[in-house]
Structure 1
Amino acid sequence: MLAKTTEVLCTRSDMGRYMRTTQFVLGATALALALTGCSAPGPGSGSSAASGESAAVQPGSAEALLAGLDLADEDVTGVIDQLDRLPVDERPTDLMASVQRDELVLTDGQQAATMALPEGKSYVSIAPFVDETHDCFYHSLTTCLGELSGKDVDVVITDSKTGEAVVDESTATFDNGFVGFWVPSGITGTIEVTAEGKTGTTDFSTRSDGPTCVTDLKLK
């Protein structure tokens, strides 16, 4: 099981709405938490807050923050699914999108908004690896990178209480090296991934203390 590290959401090593918008103002600590972690691509890109400078973040709307990406009319599942699948070179450099346990947090450093996740559903994004990985807890849709991009994978996610496979799918990792699934909230279990003759397994949790970002699944 991944240990929660409150000081980061996602750090890399060497690899460089059903519910509508809820408006809110992030406090300084929460904003720093939402923006820390995976580096935004390119020197000087992104907002001053994303680069570590303090900024007064105002309440905004998800529609406004997503308008430039043609996602303003999408519900939260559509936003998450599409952002996670974006080609890396098409990612916005001024938007942070953090998948937390019950909501998606969006901010450009000037405005911030949340979108509540569907009741009873959690999003888990998995980056299997062979040689290189990074620490992660809350998945950043716009900055996180995994090692294996565009690889065919077989994924089985099992609820340990019932023994039921809540996911049993052959798919491919996204351009960012991750593959994401909507699974029931409030469960624990195992994730097994097979790719190119290698298999790895790790524990997961979609309870309140569980990560949305799984980066400790080593294929061997």
Structure 2
Amino acid sequence: MNKLTLTLLVSLGSGALWAAAQNAAPNAAQLRGLTPQQALAKANQWRGAGGLQSFVTSEAVVFRFPGQDPTTVALPARTMVIAIAPYMTRTHPCKTHFMSGCQGEMVNTAVAVLVKNQAGKTVLNKTMKTMANGFLELWLDRDQTYQVTLKAAGKTTTGILNTQAGSDTCVTTLKLQ
């Protein structure tokens, strides 16, 4: 660091250092203290920047930074996340959702989401917008089987979601018809 850079940093104070840290390349230190929901949001934000690979299992959000051991953020004991990419014409086969790589067809699309448990009780009924990767992320209670109905663009699809240990975290089979 040259004298001019050091003088600039000192004169700008800690605010500049904080801003520089926020724009730093993704790294494991930025995950410390994050909730699972925050870690998932960070993985979606980073989308594989700097060679990062990130995915979610039924147990944790996993980050693989190049040349480092994986960093994990455990999911809550009572809930897990399932990423769903509704589609109309194209999809991809997937079981484990990779935030760093999975891409759904319907980007930034409003989708009416209805989720019912095995007893037929509605556990989620709201309109959500798919993210830039074309996915919806649903946080659901563990050890359940749910029926999900999605409606978008005047079309509907229905499917089954499972939240047991080892369940799929990526659902790409729900075709709107």
Deviation at 1:209, TM superposition (A): 3.4
**Matched residue of 2:51: which SS?**
coil
Equivalent of 2:116, from 149, 153, 158? 158
1:47-106: CA deviation from partner (whole Å, max 9, x where unpaired)? xxxxxxxxxxxxxxxx94253xxx54422211113433x386xx5141111100111121
Q: Does 1:81 align with 2:32?
A: no
SS in 2 for 1:180: strand
TM-score, normalised on structure 1? 0.64
SS state of the match for residue 28, structure 2? helix
Whose Rg is larger?
2
In structure 1, what is the Cα distance between the partners aligned to 2:163 and 2:134? 21
Give the counterpart of 1:135 among 76, 93, 111.
93
Asked if the contact 1:87–1:175 (Cα under 8 Å) also holds between the matched residues in 2, the reply is: no
Alpha-carbon separation, structure 2, partners of 1:183 and 1:170: 16
CA separation of 1:94 and 1:66: change in aligned 2, threshold 3 A: farther
Please list every run of 5 or more consecutive structure 2 residues that lacks an aligned counterpart in the other structure: 1-25
SS, match of residue 203 in structure 1: strand
Contact 1:137/1:211 (<8 A) preserved? yes
Structure 1 pair 163/79, CA: closer, same or farther in 2 (3 Å)? same
Task: Give yes or no for contact 1:64–1:72 (8 Å, CA) kept in 2.
Answer: no
Question: For the Cα contact (< 8 Å) 1:128–1:215, is it kept in 2?
Answer: yes
Question: Partners of 1:210 and 1:97 in 2: how far apart?
Answer: 18
Task: Tell me which amino acid in the other structure corresponds to 2:97.
Answer: H
- 2:4 is matched with none
Q: After superposition, what is the alpha-carbon deviation per residue over 1:151-188, rounded to whole angstroms, capped at 9, x for unaligned? A: 1110112112x212222110110000001011101101
Seen in structure 2, the aligned counterparts of structure 1 residues 66 and 132 have a Cα distance that, compared at 3 Å, is farther
Where do 1:43-58 residues align within 5 Å?
none
Aligned twin of 2:21: none
SS of the equivalent of 1:122 reads: strand
Cα pair 2:55 2:61 within 8 Å, conserved: yes
The 10-residue stretch of structure 1 (96-105 or 173-182) with the greater mean CA deviation from structure 2: 96-105
Please name the residue that 1:65 is paired with. Answer: 28
- How far, CA to CA, are the matches of 1:167 and 1:82 in structure 2? 24
Match of 1:178 among 130, 135, 140: 135
> Residue 81 of structure 2 corresponds to which residue in structure 1?
123
Q: Contact 1:98/1:140 (CA < 8 Å) preserved in 2?
A: yes
Equivalent AA in structure 1 for residue 43 of structure 2:
L
User: What is the root-mean-square deviation of aligned Cα atoms in Å?
Assistant: 1.9
- CA distance in 2 between partners of 1:214 and 1:147 (Å): 13
Match of 1:214 in 2: 171
Give the percent of matched residue pairs that are identical in Structure 1 and Structure 2.
28
TM score, norm. by length of structure 2? 0.78
Number of residue pairs matched by the alignment: 151
